[in-house]
Amino acid sequence: MPESWDYVRGAAATIDREFGFIGRHILHGIIETHVLHHYVSTIPFYNADEATEAIIPIMGKHYKSDTKDGPRGFIRALWRSARMCQWVEPSAGAKGEGQGILFFRNSNGLGTKPLNKEQYEALSR
């Protein structure tokens, strides 16, 4: 697994979300600037918004956020994650680097199926 998953890839797998007043003021924006936090956790919260704006162009398509509908959207995202992402397991029949990549699974049949090799290579370009 270490050859296919590393610190940077793990940090890029996080998502910025919007939690409104609670997130911004009580939790100091950690939910809204979570991607940055996983890359550079020593940046103070009062500089995190500016730093997040700076990493977005650098990360490009790898930056992820889900800020639609503010706090309601955050609660919906928690519910969606709880239903779709219950455990991880390797993709059956994967070869090479794909053997070390884990996919989210659940007991209720929700979520997307793993990409085949051609789909993965097309997205990686």
Model-level pTM? 0.70
Closest by CA position to 103, among listed 122, 84, 121: 84
DSSP state of 27: S
What pLDDT was estimated at residue 50?
97
Each residue of 34-72: pLDDT tens digit? 999 999 999 999 999 999 999 999 999 999 998 888 889
What pLDDT was estimated at residue 48?
95
Q: Is 79 helix (H, G, I), strand (E, B) or coil?
A: helix
State the DSSP H helix or E strand holding residue 124, giving kind and residue range, or none if neither: helix 117-124
